[in-house]
Amino acid sequence: MPTGRLGMWWVVASEVVIFGGLIMCYLIHRLGNPAWGDEAAFTIVGAGALNTFVLLTSSYWIVRAHKHVNNGELEKAVRDMYLTIACAGIFLIVKSYEYSTEITELLHHHPHPETGHVIGTFPVFWAFYFAATGLHALHVIGGAAAIYIVLRGVKKGENLQRVEYAGIYWHFVDVVWIFLFPLFYIAK
Amino acid sequence: MSDNHEHSHSDYWKIYKWLVVLFVISVAGPWLAPGIKVIVLLTAFGIALVKALLVVSNFMHLNVEKKFIWFLLLACVFILLVFFAGVAPDVLNKSGNNWVSDSAAMVTHHVKHQENHQADPPPVVSSVKTNIVVTGPSSKGEELFKSKACFTCHQTDPSIPAPAGLALKAPKFMGDFWGKEREVELNSDPISPAFMPSGKFEKVVMDEAYVMESIEKPNLKVVKGAVAAMAPLPTNADERKALAEYIKSLSK
């Protein structure tokens, strides 16, 4: 096994513990506070679902880029990597929209139109929400930057093996979101 | 990539199609059957697990990776499970030999309060329990003050703290407060049940009219410095009058 890939797997393993620890803490508190479901009703399911789809699609692009590199089709690989970065951009735009909406509602103590529950009554839910999705968004930014750096090498035909390593990291970012989505958006 | 396998583009496309189908089910399931917990949990979390496995094995090529990597990842997941098993029983516990979690009791009561707007006995919080046992409800207003859980935020006795009220800076009903002026911030939207800060302040007298109005529309005039966190209390005019009488009796 190439050292680079082994190294990336170690990174992923440590990330499993970072995100996993956060998710476990959230799960423990969520199970103890069923009322947090009223807060979760304020997260925007449509936006979260769109972002899930965007990240799934980006995962497909980056694995295709890896395939193209293996076949020696570097131009196609570069194109697919640009598409991956574009997906990361869409993800971050949607996330910013969500954050601004939620922060505005939190500042104004809006009640929910159906339940009448006033947002922010249980602020710890929002602490977990912003910590988990914020940390994940930082990973999206970092991943997109890493893919861009790898892409510049591919254009010159250098360090082609890095496409796979960046891909493994990017898929991990996708997998984390696969779990964050039901945890913060679907479960009410 | 290992040497002994080759994925074709159509393989990846097939996996991607499966992922999208599963994603649609995971959103549609809870949407179509919102109240049914089993379906929500199965479609949301069961499918999340399947999706994650599909991505990990096919896109990250763990299906053809050295077994060592599996061991590495599963060891990390195992550590997380150990963490959960070790910590959850204590954190989820709401009371023990010599302690009761006040915040947990408040949260539980809040849910009951929302599900059932009728009078509903307050949670038995260690500190509050003594209060009920010693004094016992003597008037309708006092009874309402307890059954509507007003005491969780509005402190009435210097020796019995109201932790939630402390955090929200809720007005305390202690000392000589009745008939006194207090500064309030007006709601910029008088018909909204939620508080929209207007930046306009006014002096009001703490009297029956103000108390009754504030029970019905707590966010119309919010005491300066307090967090506008009180929800309109479902009460009728008689109950509001009784509450105002009781609050008046607290002023010394």
The CATH number of residue B141's host domain is: 1.10.760.10
- pLDDT tens for residues A59-103? 999 999 999 999 999 999 999 999 999 999 999 999 999 999 999
User: What is the pLDDT, as a whole number, of residue B134?
Assistant: 39
User: So what's the pLDDT on residue A9?
Assistant: 95
Average pLDDT of the residues in A155-174? 94
Assess A59–B contact: CB distance below 8 Å, yes or no: yes
Q: B72: domain range?
A: 9-92
Establish if B191 touches chain A: CB-CB under 8 angstroms.
Answer: no
The whole-number average pLDDT for the span B42-52 is: 88
Handedness of CA B231, B235, B238, B242 (dihedral sign): negative
A121: contact with B, CB 8 A cutoff = yes
In a domain, A145, yes or no: yes
Residue B130 has pLDDT above 90, yes or no: no
Residues B84 and B161 grouped into a single domain: no
Q: How many angstroms separate the CA atoms of B103 and B249, rounded? A: 28
Whether A167 is covered by a domain: the verdict is yes
| A34 to B111: CB separation less than 8 angstroms, yes or no | yes
CB contact under 8 A, B104 and A33: yes
Q: Output the pTM of the full model.
A: 0.67
Is A174 part of any domain?
A: yes
Residue written as token pair 């006194």:
B180
Query: Which residue in chain B is spatially nearest to A54 when comparing CA positions?
Result: B20
User: What is the pLDDT, as a whole number, of residue B37?
Assistant: 77
- In a domain, residue A122? The reply is yes
Set of chain A residues whose Cβ sits within 8 Å of the Cβ of B30: 186
- Which among B218, B225, B183, B181 is positioned nearest to B201, based on CA atoms? B183
Q: Is residue A22 part of a domain?
A: no
CA distance B178 to chain A (A): 28
Q: Out of A20, A45, A59, whose CB is closest to B80?
A: A20
- Cβ separation A31–B1 shorter than 8 A: no
Q: Which of residues 65-104 of A touch B (CB under 8 A)?
A: 66-67, 70
Angle at A97 between CA A96 and CA A101, to 5 degrees: 115
Domain boundary pick from B67, B92, B117: B92
Q: Is residue B189 part of a domain?
A: yes
Q: What does the alpha-carbon distance between residue B80 and residue B62 come to, in Å, rounded to a whole number?
A: 20
Most B-contacting residue of A109, A121, A174, A185 (CB-CB within 10 A), to test interface: A109
Question: Two tokens at B87?
Answer: 């910590």
Q: Classify residue B1: in a domain, yes or no.
A: no
Tokens 């959230």 belong to which residue? A26
- Distance between start and end Cα atoms, chain A: 44
**B129 pLDDT more than 80:** no
> Among residues B59, B92, B125, which one ends one of the domains?
B92
Selected residue with higher pLDDT from B95 and A48: A48
**Among partner residues A20, A66, A109, which is closest to B195 by beta-carbon distance?**
A109
**Does B229 contact A56 at a Cβ distance shorter than 8 Å?**
no
Give the list of residues 6+ apart from residue B127 with CB closer than 8 angstroms, or none.
B102, B160, B161
Whole domain around residue A82: which residue ranges? 3-15+43-186
Of A82-86, A142-146, A176-180, B9-13, minimum mean pLDDT range = B9-13
* Number of domains observed in the structure of chain A: 1
Q: Which residues of B are less than 8 Å from A174 in CB distance?
A: 55
Cα–Cα distance list, B148 to A88, A172, B122, B210, B214 (Å): 48, 48, 7, 19, 14
ipTM at complex level:
0.88
In this structure, what CATH number is given to the domain that contains residue A59? 1.20.120.80
- Which residues in A lie closer than 8 A to residue B91 (C-beta atoms)? 28-29, 32
Residues B155-169 have pLDDT tens digits of 888 777 777 777 788
B20 contacts on A by Cβ (under 8 Å): 53, 56
Instruction: Name which residue leads in pLDDT, B39 or A125.
Output: A125
Search chain B and give the residue with CA nearest A47.
B27
